Amino acid sequence: MGALDGVTVVSVEQAVAAPFATRQLADLGARVIKVERPGAGDFARGYDTTVKGMSSHFVWLNRSKESLALDIKDPGDAAVLARLVDRADVFVQNLAPGAAERRGLGAPELRRRNPRLITCQISGYGASGPYRDKKAYDLLVQCEAGLVSITGTEEEPAKAGISVADISAGMYAYSGILAALYERERTGTGTHVDVAMLDALGEWMGYPYYYAGYGGTAPARTGARHAAIAPYGPFRAGDGGEVFLAVQNDREWRSLCERVLRRPALAEEPDLSTNTGRVRHQARVREAIEAALADLTSAQALERLDAAGIANARLRTLDEFAEHPQLAARDRWREVDSPAGPLRALLPPALPGGAEPRMDPVPDVGEHNTAILAELGLAEDGDGGARPSGAKRAGRP
């Protein structure tokens, strides 16, 4: 039994942020009804065809959901959606600001009909302000939040390699909905959760904001290194391979000098004895570490770092990540069905009591129309819309 068994979520969603939030609710046992456009469905279905003909983003974000294809601009289909939402516990949407209200899906109106309903809106920049109607895609929000300015190398800025603006918004929507469900247990009434991608990513920009705002300069772009911690990042070993290590405090620095570099006096040099000094003299730090590693292979260097208790890692490819021995040893992989057959999927990272999550199939567009409409006493008409069982749809022959 999942923690959210019995909770029904209706979501008018597309792309990444909202689907990530609702998939995590589904992982915990919630019933998630995903409302998609008839035909093409969620436009993330068309991002690529790399997963047995399906989109990698869509497969990742949409297992364990039921797909209901509705044209919410059509009055008949809009009425179907309204009936669903009136029965739901949670309604999520990431329509353009104002679009939900124009279609009768604004939070106050929905809760007048269903006082226990929790509503969640995810937008790029929020429901008010000068950027309210500005289009917001992940890269663009990364730029507006300042992330791109501090990511990359000294020569060139870079965006993060994953959709961090979308993911952060999805995470805060998920946690906000969980908090709202808990509040409803005490008050008996629902509430609204409003998440903007800029706000979510802005929270993640806390360290560079304080660093720049109070230190006078922004953190430097340092590639895989760190602007405020040293040593931190990649260092070349004697075989040409790179090892990644991170020293978090002066005690660890002394251990690195004594047990890995075999140069204990280095730890006491005034310029290098504190993190502030090591950051200021990063070139000297790197030169000393790589000189000591020159006689070691990367594997030997990692062994020595492990023995000294210094945090380290090897740079894995995605293929190597997929075969990571730690994930295998902890039985973190499962199989999820899909329209194209079984697919490998990681377990969710946080589950109450270590319970087995819901890992149901990835749906096809409109796969659950017949079953969901039947629950509402409706049937599909010949045009793919809905009508009361035994009746013709208004306005249709």
My answer on whether omega of the bond before 231 falls inside 30° of 0, hence cis, is yes
Q: How many CB atoms lie within 10 A of CB 13?
A: 29
Alpha-carbon distance 271 to 278, whole Å?
Answer: 7
Q: How many CB atoms lie within 10 A of CB 106?
A: 17
Catalytic residue among 57, 192, 226, 324: 226
Ramachandran area for residue 379 (φ above 0: left; ψ -120 to 50: alpha; else beta)? beta
Alpha-carbon distance 360 to 105, whole Å?
Answer: 28
Q: How many CB atoms lie within 10 A of CB 159?
A: 17
Alpha-carbon distance 187 to 71, whole Å?
Answer: 35
226 is catalytic: yes
CA dihedral over 195, 201, 207, 209, signed as positive or negative? negative
Tell the burial category of 345 from Cβ atoms under 10 Å away from its Cβ (0-12, 13-18, 19+): middle
Asked if residue 396 lies in contact with residue 383, where contact means CB atoms within 8 angstroms, the answer is: yes
Alpha-carbon distance 245 to 235, whole Å?
Answer: 8
* Helices H / strands E in the chain, number of each: 17, 13
Copy the structure tokens of residue 278: 């090591």
Strand order in the sheet with 242-246: 232-236, 242-246, 311-314
Alpha-carbon distance 388 to 386, whole Å?
Answer: 7
Alpha-carbon distance 141 to 159, whole Å?
Answer: 10
Say which residues have a Cβ less than 8 Å from residue 145's Cβ, sequence separation at least 6. Answer: 165, 198, 201, 202, 205
Alpha-carbon distance 312 to 316, whole Å?
Answer: 12
Task: Give catalytic residues, as residue numbers.
Answer: 226
